[in-house]
């Protein structure tokens, strides 16, 4: 009986040792993802500073600074505290109004906060395919939500033409 108990005790120690080893690996993977998140966040901040420096501030739309830039091909919005909307050069004035409304709706629905949280989760759990699926679905849902909010005030046909022209 004593030999059986010693063997059982040895297996128990091996199992817990393996468990702690796997936990250490998991923590290492999560920390690696967090460091990559910080690096990418810093790189994006530098890119946005470069983009703002090379852009022309034109107006303020519903509390958002609007910039026109020749360095981008598609409209984008950014900012958690300071809201900024960037538009490419050469946008028709009617399209501009519609695009500004769409980008403003991202702020109105707090999509930038959700996007930040989603990005953090995706980076922390980069080894889990479900986190990447969550991120892709989140982007799609946010865009669809903005589209549905925008067509409440703008004709669907006009909005569709604007989307096709800006794509």
Q: Please give the model's pTM, rounded to 2 decimal places.
A: 0.81
**What pLDDT score was predicted for residue 58?**
86
Model confidence pLDDT, tens digit, residues 57-71: 889 999 999 999 999
The pLDDT tens digits for 24-39 are 999 999 999 999 999 9
Place of tokens 């699926």: 133
Going from the C-alpha of 142 to that of each of 60, 113, 118, the distances in angstroms are 23, 11, 12
At 42-92, the pLDDT tens digits run 999 999 999 999 898 889 999 999 999 999 999 999 998 899 999 999 888
């Amino acid at each position: 009986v004593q030999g059986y108990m010693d063997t059982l005790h040895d297996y128990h120690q091996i199992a817990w040792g393996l468990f702690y080893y796997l936990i250490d690996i998991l923590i290492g993977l999560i920390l690696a993802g967090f460091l990559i998140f910080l690096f990418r966040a810093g790189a994006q901040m530098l890119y946005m500073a470069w983009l703002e420096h090379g852009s022309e501030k034109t107006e303020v739309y519903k509390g958002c600074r609007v910039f026109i830039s020749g360095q981008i091909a598609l409209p984008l919005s950014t900012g958690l505290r300071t809201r900024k909307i960037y538009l490419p050069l050469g946008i028709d004035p009617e399209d501009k109004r519609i695009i500004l409304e769409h980008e403003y709706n991202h702020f109105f629905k707090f999509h930038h906060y959700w996007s930040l949280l989603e990005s953090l989760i995706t980076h922390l759990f980069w080894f889990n395919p479900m986190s990447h699926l969550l991120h892709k679905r989140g982007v799609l849902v946010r865009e669809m939500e903005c589209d549905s909010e925008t067509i409440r005030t703008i004709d669907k046909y006009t909005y569709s033409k604007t989307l096709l022209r800006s794509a």
